[in-house]
Structures are given as structure tokens and as C-alpha cells.
Amino acid sequence: MSSLGLIPLLALLGCAPTPAPTPTPTKPVGPLTATEAAKLEPVGDPVDLEITSAPHVPPPITRDTPAKLVINLEVKEVQKAISDGVDYVQWTFGGDVPGRFIRVRQGDSVEFHLNNHPDNKMPHNIDLHAVTGPGGGAASSFTAPGHSSQFSFKALNPGLYVYHCATAPVGMHIANGMYGLILVEPPGGLPKVDREYYVMQGDFYTVGKYREKGLQPFDMQKAIEENATYVLFNGSEGSLVGDKALTAKVGETVRLFVGNGGPNLVSSFHVIGEIFDRVYTEGGSNFQENVQTTLVPAGGSAIVEFKVDVPGTYILVDHSIFRTFNKGALGMLKVEGPDDKPVYSGKEIDDVYLADKAASTAPPVPAAGGVLSKDDQIKAGGLLFAGTCSTCHQADGKGIEGVFPPLAGSDFLLGDVERAIGVVVNGRSGPITVNGKDYNSVMPPMSNLNDDEVANILTYVTNSFGNSGGVVTAEQVKKVRASTPRPPGAAH
């Protein structure tokens, strides 16, 4: 650990144009050395520490003395949706992937309790990269189901650290979601920002292919081959889109605590339409400025900061880009503010759909028999719409003027049902006019949806957002699909 604070170090490197002002010497600000931190003794009574689920982050620490903190973290094995209609048994620190965000101050003494829920199948432990000592706590926290372990450590080095399970087979425990972040703030804290969020990437390996419906078991062979089925932010596709998108206002500074649990893939973390003003590379003490894409190692982190100047939707991606468009690594930051035409994200998403179209030849899977009522169709379609369609057409069906055509009151949609079916099944590109406005975008073919699902989505959109229409049946979809020439091998 460098004994130099941030400001003197920058001056040393010649990055600061003028000599930095010396901080008022009333209390120490900036990181201590690990040796100095080791000598700190907690002040006051032990405190139960608040830990948060992603994307939330506990508030900055305002204490200027070290404390004794008690952390209770429960390991739970839970069945969760990782994509629309795709369930997976995730092993979690706290009930969600990623695990709870832990925020402490350099020099704090932490009493850590790892509680392994009685319903769990597996023994678990925790290795916190913020812990100095053999195994990072793993050996001291190895816990059978229905039991609890306690160990204590002092946070010696400031930085943003990954924690994870280290029980054999380690790769499988991590692949199932057992990772999270712990932030050790330097005394004086990090520079003040307006928003802080927690985003953690992980790769998942399922027996079924991408978006194959149902409960999907872990595929050990794919994991060994590092052939990920899903690459996800915050444990599921859609965890950071629609209503769950991150938010900010024009003029605010946003800080993302970015982690990568792996188990295998290194992330090329990027926000489409933004430049990171600062990146604390690998979660350490020094920052780089004006970065487009930062590498986040498996088992590593980065802190990125940027001021949002223009309203619009900014897309969080792993710029190893097929992971974004074909494996699920996509999140959103919605920035509101004074009216201004959002242009950045529009162009980037155009790129998306070309990639998706090129790769998407998955055959539709027939659904079980039976006929739904119109209301049930609308309900089922609404769920699918929220996950798949609302990304572009927006949750209120109004689209984005000039980029994504509206569905609400859309003359193009309501004028010709068969044409609408064709667009969903086969995609569409090129210029069209909707309600008098011109659009020139690409919609990929939704070939992962079966006939029933397409029928339900169309019944939903033609009966929502003020539209009122009839029922679109699977039979109609089947007919349109059958009349479309498909590439050899695409339908079997």
C-alpha cells in the first residue's frame, strides 16, 4: 500500500497543473498505511452494520474514528429467474446475486458472522479480498448447513474488494452467484458525488441454451470450457432495465462500484454514451481520467465516476459485445433533465440489433396446448413485453421519437395485424413512417419466442397504452411464420 495520499501523488506525477493545496491538518484525510491502520483501536460500542442489496449502496461513512462493526450475512440457496421464463438455483450471500454490499472504513474492526441457512444443501464459506490473513477468512468461516461461524478482522487497506465463496468446488460456488463487494473507505471518505450504485457482473452456465425456458441446471462442462450461456449484471437479465434502471439527473455525478465475480470472464466495462471522468482502476487508490472502457478482472473491481450532461438512456455493457446482445450483459442508466434530444444511446442500440440478428437463429419451442382467455393473453403478453420489448418501445409503449417507433396509438401496428406479426417473427429494418414520423431502425427477429408468446405479446400491445383491438391467436402467428422463408437449419 502506498503511503502517499492521492493529492501528493498526482503532484508527483505532474498530473496537477498547479501545486495542490495542503489539506487542513486537523484530522488525517486519505489512506493510511496498512501498518498505521493495524494500530487503530475501535471507538465506541459495537454497531450492527447495514448492508444493502444491489444496486443500492450504504451511505458514505461520516465517522472520523474507527469502529467495531458486526456483520451478519446469511447464505441462501434460492431459485430465481435469470431471464424471462428461465429459472436457476442461485447460491447467494444475502438472498440475491450479487451479495450484499458492505461498506467499512479503513482501520475498522469487523466481527463477521456467516450464517448458512438450514435449508441449504451445501457447506459454504467466505473469502473477503479485503481481509489480510490466510484464505481471507475462508478457513475460519467454513460452515455446514444450519450452522453459523464467526471470525474477526481489521480492514487494513482501503479499496473496493470482491468477496466470494471458496468452498470446493470453488468454481461452481462462484458460478452459482456467490460473490459481492466490500468497500473499505480511506479516512475522510471518497470525494462527494450525487449518486452511488452497485453493479456486479457474473457469468452463468446452464444446460439449456440462452433463453431456453424452464428451470436450468448448472452445466459443469460448459463452465470448465469457459463457454458462458449468460453474462449478467446483478444476477439476472433485466435487473437494471425498465423500472429497475439506474437513475440520475442532468448535471449530477454518478459513481458506480463495479465488481466482477467471474468465475471465468474478464469484463470490458463500458457505458454507452458516457466517458468515465475517473476510474479507480482495479478498485485501488489511484485514478485514471477520461476512460472509455475499463477492464474488470474476475475477482476484481473498479470504481468509475462520471458527470451526466445530457438526458437520455445510457447503456451499461460488457464491451466484449456479444455478451451484451446475446448473453444478457446489459443495464441502463436513465438520466432526466432539461429537454434535449437523446441521441447517443439510439445509435449504439442500432449496433445491438445487427449483432443480435446475425446470431439469432434459435428455433421456436412449441408451448403446451390449451387456449387462454383474452385477459390471460394480455396478462401473459405484458410480462413478456416488460422483459423483451419495453427496452426499446418503452414501458408506456410510446417509444422514443425518431429512434424507436411508438406502439401506443400506432397506425403502423393497428393498421395490419399480419404485418405486425411478421415484424415480431422476422424482424424489420429500413425506413418506415409511424403516425407521421419517419424512423429508420432495426428490430431483430424475436426467434426465441414461440407462437403463443408472439400472440400474447401482440394481444397485449394492441389492447394497451390506449389501444383497443381484438385477439391475436397462435394460429395466425403460425401461418405468418410458415409463410416466411427461413435459412436452412433455422427451423427444426
Partner 1 sequence: MIALLLAAAWAADRVPVGPGVYEPLYPPSPEEARIPVPRFLLAVEPVTNEEYAAFVEENPAWGRGVARLYADEGYLDDWAAPDAPGASVLPDAPVTRVSWYAARAYCRSVGGRLPTEGEWEIAGAASETSWDARKDPHFLARLLAWYGSPTPRVLPAVGGMANRWGVRDLHGLVWEWVEDFNASLVDVDPRGADGEARFCGGGVVGATAVADYAAFMRLALRASLQADSTVRNLGFRCALDGP
Residues that bind partner 1 (CB under 8 A): 77-79, 89, 118-123, 125, 127, 134-135, 138-139, 142-147, 166-172, 176, 207, 217-218, 220-221
The least distance separating partner 1 from the CB of residue 214, rounded to whole angstroms, comes to 13
Report the half-sphere exposure of 262 (CA within 13 A, side-chain side): 19
**147 or 419, CB closer to partner 1?**
147
* Interacting residues of 350 by C-beta distance below 8 A, sequence separation 6+: 441, 442
Minimum CB distance to partner 1, residue 81 (Å)? 15
Contact between 290 and 276 under an 8 Å Cβ cutoff? The reply is yes
Buried b (16+ CB within 10 A) or exposed e, 178-204: bbbbbbbbbbbebeeeebbbbbbbbbb
What pairing do the DSSP bridges indicate for beta strands 159-164 and 127-128?
Answer: antiparallel
Question: For residue 435, how many other CB atoms are within 10 A of its CB?
Answer: 14
248 close to 164: Cβ distance less than 8 angstroms: no
Whether residue 55 has a cis bond before it, omega within 30° of 0: yes
Q: Which is nearer to partner 1, 56 or 147 (CB)?
A: 147
Q: Report the alpha-carbon angle 228-234-236, nearest 5.
A: 60
The nearest distance, CB 212 to partner 1, in angstroms, is 16
| Cβ proximity to partner 1, 143 vs 447, nearer residue | 143
Identify which of residues 218 and 344 has a Cβ nearer to partner 1 in the complex. 218
Tell me the CB-side half-sphere exposure of residue 134, using CA atoms within 13 A.
Answer: 2
Inter-residue contact 128 to 163 (CB < 8 Å):
yes
In this structure, the number of other CB atoms found within 10 A of the CB of residue 169 comes to 10
Taking the C-alpha atoms of residue 330 and residue 304, their distance in angstroms, rounded to an integer, is 17
Smallest separation, CB 159 to partner 1 (Å)? 21
78 or 250, CB closer to partner 1? 78
In whole angstroms, how close is the CB of 86 to partner 1 at the nearest point? 15
Nearer to partner 1, 120 or 448 (CB): 120
Query: Smallest gap, in angstroms, from Cβ of residue 109 to partner 1?
Result: 22
| Distance from C-alpha of 197 to C-alpha of 179, rounded to nearest angstrom | 16
The least distance separating partner 1 from the CB of residue 302, rounded to whole angstroms, comes to: 25
Among residues 119 and 375, whose Cβ is nearest to partner 1? 119
Q: Are 126 and 180 in contact (CB under 8 A)?
A: no
Dihedral (CA of 387, 391, 394, 397) sign: negative
**Coil, helix or strand for 173?**
helix
- Compute the least distance from the CB of residue 132 to partner 1, in Å: 12
Joined grid coordinates for residue 378: 394480455
Which of residues 147 and 479 has its CB atom nearest to partner 1 in the complex? 147
Q: Which is nearer to partner 1, 137 or 381 (CB)?
A: 137
Minimum CB distance to partner 1, residue 166 (Å):
6
Peptide bond before residue 21 is cis, with ω within 30 degrees of 0: no
* DSSP string computed for 195-246: EEEEEEEEEE-BSS-TT--EE--B-HHHHHTT--SEEEETTSTTTTSGGGSE
Q: Which is nearer to partner 1, 170 or 432 (CB)?
A: 170
Grid cell digits, residue 111: 466481527
- The amino acid at 42: P
Q: Which is nearer to partner 1, 138 or 474 (CB)?
A: 138
> Cβ of residue 208: shortest distance to partner 1, in angstroms?
13
For 148, other C-beta atoms within 10 Å of its C-beta total 13
**Closest distance between partner 1 and the C-beta of residue 78, in Å?**
7
Collect all residues with Cβ–Cβ distance below 8 Å to 326 and sequence separation of at least 6: 210, 355, 356, 359, 360
Nearer residue to partner 1 within complex by CB, 92 or 260: 92
The minimum distance between CB 221 and partner 1, in angstroms, equals 8
